[in-house]
Amino acid sequence: MSAQKSCYTTYTTDPLLRADEVLPLVGLRTRQGLRNWIASGRFPQGLRIGTRGRVWRLSTVEAWRSGLSAERPPFSEPDPEKTSP
């Protein structure tokens, strides 16, 4: 018997997250804080659903988080010689 190829395409799904699901992932407590980040360009705009709804792909949020950690400078202790008593 020979194996037959499927005529159906297999799709991998990327979950869509609403604002309440995004907030804990990005470290915010309020939707207003998220809106401020979007308005300032600090966070991706996401996808519009309907006239008032907005969702984000999980992969987009994860990419934003990994890019954010790459942009942060490494933590360093203050130099005691440069600080005054």
- How does pLDDT run along the chain (85 residues), one tens digit per residue? 556 666 666 666 889 999 999 999 999 999 999 999 999 999 999 999 999 999 999 999 999 999 875 555 544 445 555 555 5
How much is the pLDDT for 75? 46
Predicted TM-score (pTM) of the model is 0.66
Instruction: Return the SS3 of 17.
Output: strand
Could you tell me the CA-to-CA distances from 72 to 3, 52, 67, 85 in Å, in that order?
51, 33, 9, 29
Residues present in the chain in total:
85
